[in-house]
Amino acid sequence: MSSPSSSVKTPKALALKPIEATPSTFAGFGQVISASPDGGVFGPTDAQLELHRGVPRFYIMHIEDRALKFKTITHHASVTQCLGSVGGHEWFLGVAKASIVDESKIDDGDDGSKVVRSKCGHLYVPPNPDDVRVFRVEGSKFLKLDVGTWHAGPLFKTKAMDFYNLELSNTNEVDHTTHNFVEKDGVVFLIED
């Protein structure tokens, strides 16, 4: 009879090369926002925010020990999220496209085998490991994640970093859905930089 630990499989390590975050490379996941001249009017290069479902929260997160690897990924179904490093230091973010499912558009004949109901109440399709990308962010810019964009990080090489974060005041309590790649897909991601 085998012991419980002998039946646990070691997850497969998937190495990802970072892509430089630019408005065109990040377009499927959100926006890259860079400095613009003072006094300009609101336009398409400004963050297109979804903050109407609650009280906005803008704060500075202090994060320690975030190595260049991840096994879980999270999304928020009710808000865009903006992240940027204080000081413009280099950081990384794993992402996958939003996969929230509109419940009214599910066919009666669809068995919904891939659709999952989040503990937050919405429906989604879990991210496919093959669709995960990693972006490098440098300089005075931040990322605006579209509603539902899966994200892992911020990740960085230093011991600790501070990040600007804009979301809703209760995002982490009521709108936080996580997919565990080790448990569900048998994989872990490593960033090759």
Cα 37 off chain centre by: 29
63-78: pLDDT as tens digits: 999 999 999 999 999 9
* Exposure class string for 28-47: b at 16+ Cβ within 10 A, else e: ebbbbbeeeeeeeeeeeeee
Q: What is the CATH number of domain 12-34+49-103+110-191?
A: 2.60.120.480
* Exposure class string for 81-117: b at 16+ Cβ within 10 A, else e: bbbbbeeeeebbbbbbbbbbbeeeeeeeeeeeeeebe
Cα 117 off chain centre by: 19
**pLDDT at res. 107:** 67
Is the pTM of the predicted complex or chain greater than 0.85?
Answer: yes
Measured at the alpha carbon of residue 25, what is the angle toward residues 20 and 26, in degrees to the nearest 5? Answer: 95
Q: Are 49 and 170 in contact (CB under 8 A)?
A: no
**pLDDT at res. 1:** 44
Given a cut of 60, is residue 3 above it in pLDDT?
Answer: no
Place of tokens 């503990």: 119
Provide the token pair at 133: 């990308």
134-193: pLDDT as tens digits: 999 999 999 999 999 999 999 999 999 999 999 999 999 999 999 999 999 999 999 998
Beta 12-16 vs 187-191: how paired, if at all?
Answer: parallel
Show me where the domains of the chain are located: 12-34+49-103+110-191
The strand pairing partners of 62, in sequence order, are 162
Measured at the alpha carbon of residue 67, what is the angle toward residues 61 and 70, in degrees to the nearest 5? Answer: 95
Distance CA 151, CA 99 (A): 12
**pLDDT at res. 185:** 97
**pLDDT at res. 105:** 78
